[in-house]
Amino acid sequence: MLGLAELGPGFFIAVAFALGLLIGSFLNVVIHRLPVMMERDWRAQCAELGTQGHAHGEQPPYNLVVPRSACPACRAPIHAWHNIPILSYLLLRGRCASCRAHISLRYPLIELLCGLLSAAVVAKFGVGWTALAALFFTWILIALSGIDLDQQLLPDALTQPLLWGGLLASLGWSVHTITSLPVRPADAIMGAAGGYLSLWSVYQVFKLCTGKEGMGYGDFKLLAALGAWLGWRMLLPIVMLSAAAGAVVGITLIVVRKRGRGVPMPYGPFLAAAGWLAMMWGSQWVDLYLGLYAPPD
């Protein structure tokens, strides 16, 4: 029997891709259901406080597991063989098996994106605790991006575990001397605090000058989480890259789709993308930047 070391990196990259497809299918559930769960919880709290009258009986459970997934159009249950990532979408030709209603292309795209990014993480970090931490980081960012695109919301239920995960991971990397992601606890703490305060300060200045809110508190928390994972040195490259990408996309939407300038656009996906790229190649960015100003030999 072959040992794990003899299987080669290609095997583990393929396994990561397959696992990413399955996780992507679950992330589709998270992206769709978590905002609904939050809204139901808010309504229940309002009912308890008496601001919306009395609750009309106990609502049936609704979470990431129950009720069973069903077609939004005809409410027919979705069978397990209709949930095979990407393959089921292709075999069903993007339509419900019962009523032939159109299925959003977003579902297979999320699955494919998660599979590709998971494979890239394992190709970069190999097999070990660092890769597992990076996969967790990647999957949470995908879920946050999807929810923000849909609802312009970055739930605490995801940003807070991401933040605490980064802080705890810095302890593990320090203890086990893992060098692939060299973030010491002090750098992680400074990154979390600096990430939150930097966008919070921009928010306050913008609000003071314009009387409008330029971004939400979820963006502050997301950048704090990125700082906890990647350290304070990565904050400036993340902000610059995300702001540049956001500006390009925003201008393109205004010119091509005639999108109004006052229409808000979620910033979370740009932060998430910049954070993931910084995790993968941030150290090379810094080395390249410093190399431009290095004295000649």
Are 80 and 112 in the same domain? yes
| Beta bridge partner(s), residue 95 | 102
The domain boundary, picked from 126, 153, 184, lies at: 126
Are 46 and 59 in the same domain? yes
Are 154 and 196 in the same domain? yes
Determine the Cα–Cα distance for residues 38 and 231; give it in Å rounded to an integer: 30
Domain count, the chain: 2
Domain-embedded: residue 297: no
- Give the residue, 97 or 122, on which the prediction is more confident: 122
Domain-embedded: residue 74: yes
Are 169 and 149 in the same domain? yes
Residue 278 lies in domain? 128-292
Q: What's the pTM value of the predicted model, to 2 decimals?
A: 0.89
Task: Look at residue 176 in the predicted model and tell me its pLDDT.
Answer: 43
Are 121 and 240 in the same domain? no
Which pLDDT band holds residue 111 (cuts at 50, 70, 90)?
very high
Are 84 and 163 in the same domain? no
CA 98 from centre of chain: 32
Domain-embedded: residue 1: no
What are phi and psi for residue 70, nearest 5 degrees?
-145, 160
Are 170 and 149 in the same domain? yes
Are 95 and 199 in the same domain? no
DSSP line for 84-116:
STTHHHHHTTTB-TTT-PBPPTHHHHHHHHHHH
Among the listed residues 139, 163, 134, the one whose alpha carbon sits nearest the alpha carbon of residue 22: 139
Domain-embedded: residue 2: no
Domain-embedded: residue 241: yes
Are 258 and 183 in the same domain? yes
Mean pLDDT of the 105-132 span: 93
Are 115 and 160 in the same domain? no
Are 121 and 138 in the same domain? no
Task: Report the mean per-residue pLDDT for the chain.
Answer: 84
Among all chains, which residue has been given the structure tokens 């308890």? 48
Are 262 and 141 in the same domain? yes
Domain-embedded: residue 225: yes
Is residue 243 scored above 60 in pLDDT? Answer: yes
* pLDDT tens digits for range 166-184: 999 888 765 444 434 668 8
Task: Look at residue 249 in the predicted model and tell me its pLDDT.
Answer: 86
**Quick check: helix, strand or coil at residue 70?**
strand
Task: Look at residue 69 in the predicted model and tell me its pLDDT.
Answer: 79
* pLDDT tens digits for range 190-242: 999 999 999 999 889 888 888 777 788 899 999 999 999 999 989 999 999 99
Determine the Cα–Cα distance for residues 169 and 167; give it in Å rounded to an integer: 5
The domain boundary, picked from 56, 91, 126, lies at: 126
Mean pLDDT of the 238-258 span: 85
The domain boundary, picked from 102, 126, 150, lies at: 126
Domain-embedded: residue 189: yes
Domain-embedded: residue 84: yes
- Of 9-23, 81-95, 263-277, give the lowest mean pLDDT range: 81-95
